[in-house]
Structure 1
Amino acid sequence: MTAVPQQRLLRTEIPGPQSVARHRRKTTAVSAGVGVGLPVYITRAGGGILVDVDGNHLIDFGSGIAVTTVGNAAPRVVSAVTRQVADFTHTCFMVTPYDGYVEVCEKLNALTPGDHEKRSALFNSGAEAVENAVKIARHATGRPAVITFDHAYHGRTNLTMALTAKARPYKDGFGPFAGEIYRAPMAYPLRWPGGSEACAQQAFDAFVDTVHTQVGEARTAAVVIEPIQGEGGFIVPPPGWLRRVADWCRQHGILLIADEIQTGFCRTGDWFAAEHEQVVPDLVTTAKGIAGGLPLAAVTGRADLMDAVGTGGLGGTYGGNPVSCAAALAAIEIMIEENLCGRAREIERLFLARLHDLASRYDVIGDVRGRGAMLAVELVTGAGDLTPNPALTAAVNARCHRAGLVTLTCGTYGNVFRFLPPLTAPDALLTEGLDIFESALDAARADH
């Protein structure tokens, strides 16, 4: 249990005076390219609460962008990290290895979809994991081309920027980008031109046509897909679409890379989102929720693919840092013993009942979607007009922040609210957060 009381408490306006002073200091020391969504400076956190320097206790609906799945400073994670720091902080696994790295790989090999023989390699960030998965796919297949999708987000390295769809702020001014990257239409039911009922079939046909006409099946190494798109707007493809893409890839010797960086580790109510469609990817990339807040990422996949790369072809100085590995092993223990997949499904039921009720009363909610504790609403002009409404979204977000609720927006058009609470947050806190969101939506809608 966390030592931080699970209650919202506002002692000052948000942000408070000490946070404001610290933020002035930030602007003189930190690159302006590093943005801040809510400039409150945190001193403690646990469960579903963040405590700032002014003594305010804020409800956390962001989990550091799906990272603190087991909560901030989970006691078991803290103990494991403390023990490891006391023993050693680094040797570089490629120089002198250690058990923690191997144990994390064993866990990943067991937990990721499929009962085939697997191997894993550890890295520092989600972008590194995706980049290395593409390297592995190209090496193993001898093919150059990679397919990604509209609205995709895969990272900020040069290659992963090429895979990412949204220009601003992620790609603007940073090109030229890596080549042999091709983009297919995403199965986005709300915005599919033929309507949601036709989306699954038409989007699959469009994907196949894109690969066949623009790339060529025999030149395609891999398809990279988020089973539920994250930054692009929490887009959930229609049932059966991912399954058909996976089957088609297998038919043509194309590898399926599932980017489970935001969806993995119990977030969607399964260990991995691909499991919901009974899809077994060839390669899986993970990060975010894997290590209780410490930096760690991985590629896990078929043994023949992972072993195809020559010795020394994968790695990095800090990849699989021993402290992060200790945190990951503890976090995975918590997920198993506390059945956090089941907890994510409980959160889904709590949120969806409330969000669907709001959608029935507010025509500016164009869609409610998601799975587990990865949920979203898309805000539109309303009254049958699905025009994205980023201005209203920003206004609601600002009101939530002022009321002590940490919320995140996303989406290609900047009009999607995403809800990513820690799986350890109590129901009463989640309900209070939804109350705040409803009040903010009501007030902002009246102003707009």
Structure 2
Amino acid sequence: MTLTSGPAQARHLATAIPGPRSLELMARKEHAVARGVGTTMPVFAVRAGGGVVEDVDGNVLIDLGSGIAVTTVGVSAPRVVDAVRGQLDAFTHTCFMVTPYEGYVAVAEQLNRLTPGTHEKRSVLFNSGAEAVENAVKIARAFTGRQAVVAFDHAYHGRTNLTMAMTAKSMPYKQGFGPFAAEVYRAPLSYPFRDRADGPAAARRAIDVIEKQVGRPAAVVIEPIQGEGGFIVPAPGFLPELAAWCRANDVVFIADEVQTGFARTGALFASEHEGIVPDLLVSAKGIADGLPLSAVTGRADIMDAAHTGGLGGTYGGNPLACAAALATIETIEAEGLLERARAIEELMKDRLCRLQEKDDRIGDVRGRGAMLAVELVRPGTTEPDPELARAVAAAAHAQGVIVLTCGTYGNVLRFLPPLAISDELLNDALDVLAEGFRA
């Protein structure tokens, strides 16, 4: 596997975390950067590659975050670096809407090939996941002539005004930032650990809410596996029932695969796990291995509903990001990374489930591929324990393992390792995590 570069692939602590140089930079950050920008760890990176990040003090950290599911094929993967360097030598920007270039078209062609379904498709490129979600809604409204949009409990779709309205969690994403966009409604999600309902029953509950409170919306927008909401995997049958209802009622079914796309879950897109063919699919994060790029891909008749000039943006489909995306796709296919994601799931779930057997504070182990999580609860209950999640994450951070938390209740530890990570690094990280629980 030719996926690693940069620091040696081993955890190494040269100083306490944070070290003195990181503390100096954090003090500068406090005086220069707006308070609203938080950080998970108070360390500053200087190099990264494969499954590790090196900080300014010489500490080498195991990366179980991938920049929040972005560097899926590994930070600065060799093919990506070479492709971006070549594009950099040619030109950095012209704006596709002014003088177009082949890279944008090539990325669109690849997305049309790779996303679920064999129907005729079109794609449009943007910069961020939130921007792409917002444009997917615009396209659905243009196609249907309707305005209402349905999102789900625990959803996260972004930080723009419309996507904040679609996002469920108030703090820190929405509090104090309203009023929000109108015509956004919420339906109950399938949450197997908490509702114990099977997929079809949970779908009927959601559809009943939609029919009674909304009628026929323009679109239903859902993450096939929820991200920030807690890595919630709906019960089998929930997504197919929902998609079937949308088809029967001429409602656009939008899969938000910003976090789940591009091999993260052991399939190229998480919709594939249950045979879902979305009308529109939103991708970002892992699409370009760290360069800002996002996309909406879908049925040609829906995508072409927006008038000429109605979609776009100055930086959308930047040539450097397009080069990175093409190299990322090549890396996934050439290096067998779907299989690697499934191998990571097998290794990590085995370790996490064995940990769960010994610790009744681990209420649930869930996820697919290299998108896994544990939900932490008070012993013997399903009551969320966000304090424990914070404590275990802090213990891991102190020992050089990057771990993220999430969930509506703040009680979920989530694991998003790059697919370039070695089994040795994974096992070392899991040893640290187990010690964090014991402590």
Superposition TM-score, scaled by structure 1 size: 0.97
**Counterpart secondary structure, 1:154:** coil
SS at match of 2:383: strand
Distance 1:184 1:109 in 2: 30
Output the CA distance in 2 between the equivalents of 1:410 and 1:3. 29
Residue 209 of structure 2 corresponds to 210
- 1:42 equivalent in alignment to 2:45: yes
CA positional deviation for 1:115 = 0.3
Match of 2:243 among 241, 246, 258: 246
| 2:200–2:241 CA contact under 8 A, matched in 1 | no
Task: Give the whole-Å Cα distance in 2 for the aligned partners of 1:359 and 1:439.
Answer: 13
Cα pair 1:188 1:199 within 8 Å, conserved: no
Secondary structure of 2:5's counterpart equals coil
Asked whether 1:76 is paired with 2:79, we answer yes
Over the matched positions of the two proteins, sequence identity in percent amounts to 64
Offset from partner CA, 1:121-147 (integer Å, 9 cap, x none): 000000000000000000001011110
4+ aligned runs moved over 6 Å, structure 1: none
- Is residue 124 of structure 2 the alignment partner of residue 127 of structure 1? no
1:392-431 deviation line (CA, Å, top 9, x unaligned): 1100010000000000000000000000000000110011
Q: Which residue of 2 aligns with 1:393?
A: 389
For 2:218, what is the secondary structure of its paired residue?
A: strand
Q: Which runs of 5+ in 1 are unaligned?
A: 444-448
Name the CA distance, whole Å, in 1 between partners of 2:6 and 2:285: 23
Query: Which stretches in structure 2 are left out of the alignment for 5+ residues?
Result: none
Q: Displacement of 1:199 after TM fit?
A: 3.7
Aligned-partner residue type, residue 223 of structure 1: V
Residue pairs, 1:105-184, within 5 angstroms: 105-184=108-187
What secondary structure does 2:378 align onto?
A: strand
Preserved contact between residue 129 and residue 297 of structure 1 (Cα < 8 Å): yes
Residues 112-171 of structure 1, C-alpha deviations (whole Å, 9 max, x = no match): 000000000000000000000000000001011110000000000000000000000000
Which residue identity does 1:216 align to in structure 2?
G
Give the CA deviation at 1:191.
1.1
Offset, 1:209: 1.2
In 1, the alpha carbon distance for the partners of 2:42 and 2:76 equals: 21
* Cα drift, residue 348 of structure 1: 0.3
For the pair 1:255 / 2:252, whether they are aligned, the reply is yes
1:372 aligned partner, one-letter code:
G
In 2, Cα distance between the equivalents of 1:379 and 1:211? 31
| Residue of structure 1 in register with 2:311 after alignment | 314
Q: Give the drift of 1:2.
A: 1.7
1:307 offset after TM fit, Å? Answer: 0.8
Task: Show the counterpart of 2:298.
Answer: 301
Q: Are 2:158 and 2:164, in contact at CA under 8 Å, matched by a contact in 1?
A: yes
| Contact 2:345 2:369 survives alignment (8 Å) | yes
Q: Deviations for 1:323-353, whole angstroms, at most 9, x for unmatched residues?
A: 0000111111000000111100000000010
Residue matched to 1:446: none
For 1:45-60, list aligned pairs within 5 A. Answer: 45-60=48-63
Give the Cα separation in 2 of the matches to 1:206 and 1:180.
21
Matched, 1:286 2:283: yes
Q: Does 1:323 align with 2:326?
A: no
SS at match of 2:119: coil
Let me know the Cα RMSD of the aligned residues: 0.7
User: Is contact 2:7-2:52 (8 Å) kept?
Assistant: yes
CA contact 1:226–1:259 (8 Å) conserved in 2:
yes
1:340 aligned to 2:337? yes
The aligned counterpart of 1:382 is 379
Cα deviation for residue 86 of structure 1 reads 1.1
Q: CA deviation at 1:4?
A: 2.0
1:395 is aligned with what amino acid?
Answer: A
Cα distance in 2 between the residues matched to 1:153 and 1:340: 26
Q: Which amino acid aligns with 1:128?
A: E
